[in-house]
């Protein structure tokens, strides 16, 4: 199972919005709405930010939103804050069955 | 509080074996599907294995199939991963994580480090 494709890095200034893409295939992202996004700060465990493409767990800021079109899912962070600087990973359930992650995107808040 | 704590990580030689454990507390362990996920140093996340609530359904990533074995003991609120025939590329932090109804990994442990080197 090949990893989902994410840009290695994105950046934005405080207050701006950024979007991270996550491209898979019809066997994973395109075939299911089981796409999730994780935030990971250095040396810490990942944290679930978005599940089922668009849903936020309790406690996650509404500045984080998700969407999907075809085989590509996206995470948008609006009103960027310094604390958002982290690595972000997408994940999808697959037809294998199993799960696949994206390669990760490093977000830099300028 | 809800918590997963991994243990058992160590330095092991190529071809060696290791058993990782994940202890759960603060929730009804037997109600949850649970997974192992790993992260090589400086690299991304890789899903490793899944086990159903009762242990009857198990999945593995191709990279570990035939070498790793996942199991659980609901009476002890514990998850295990037996790692055999270890390779340098198995070097990683190993996390256990619960799976919610929407197939997302919602509770994570802090991870345990496995280093495979001669």
Q: pLDDT of B39-78, one tens digit each? A: 999 999 999 999 999 999 999 999 999 999 999 999 999 9
CB contact under 8 A, A36 and B62: no
Q: How much is the pLDDT for B67?
A: 98
Residue B53 to chain A, least CA–CA distance (Å) = 16
Q: How much is the pLDDT for B101?
A: 87
Cα–Cα distance between A98 and A34 in angstroms, integer?
11
* Touching B: A residues 60-89, CB under 8 Å: 89
Question: Under the phi-then-psi rule, with left for phi > 0, alpha for psi from -120 to 50, and beta for the rest, what region is A98?
Answer: left
Could you give the angle at the alpha carbon of B68 between the alpha carbons of B118 and B50, nearest 5°? 135
Q: Per this entry, what is the length of chain A?
A: 110
Q: What is the pLDDT of residues A43-102, one digit of tens each?
A: 999 999 999 999 999 999 999 999 999 999 999 999 999 999 999 999 999 999 999 999
CB contact under 8 A, B103 and A103: no
């Amino acid at each position: 199972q090949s990893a989902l494709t994410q840009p290695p890095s994105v950046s934005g200034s405080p207050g701006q919005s950024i979007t991270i893409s996550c491209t898979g295939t019809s066997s994973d992202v395109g075939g299911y709405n089981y796409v999730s996004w994780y935030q990971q700060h250095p040396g810490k465990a990942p944290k679930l930010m978005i599940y089922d493409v668009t849903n936020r767990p309790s406690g996650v800021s509404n500045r984080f939103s998700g969407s999907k079109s075809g085989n590509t899912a996206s995470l948008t962070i609006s009103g960027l804050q310094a604390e958002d600087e982290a690595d972000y990973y997408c994940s999808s359930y697959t037809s294998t069955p199993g799960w696949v992650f994206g390669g990760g995107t490093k977000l830099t808040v300028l | 509080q809800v918590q997963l704590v991994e243990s058992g990580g160590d330095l092991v030689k190529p071809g060696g074996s290791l058993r990782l454990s994940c202890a759960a507390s603060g929730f009804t362990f037997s109600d949850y599907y649970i997974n192992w996920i790993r992260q090589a140093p400086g690299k991304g996340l890789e899903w490793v294995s899944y086990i159903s609530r009762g242990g009857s359904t198990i999945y593995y990533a191709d990279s570990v199939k035939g070498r790793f074995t996942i199991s659980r003991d609901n009476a002890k609120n514990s998850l295990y991963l037996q790692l055999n025939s270890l390779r340098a590329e198995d070097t990683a932090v190993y996390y256990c994580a619960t799976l919610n109804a929407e197939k997302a990994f919602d509770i994570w442990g802090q991870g345990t480090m496995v280093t495979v080197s001669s």
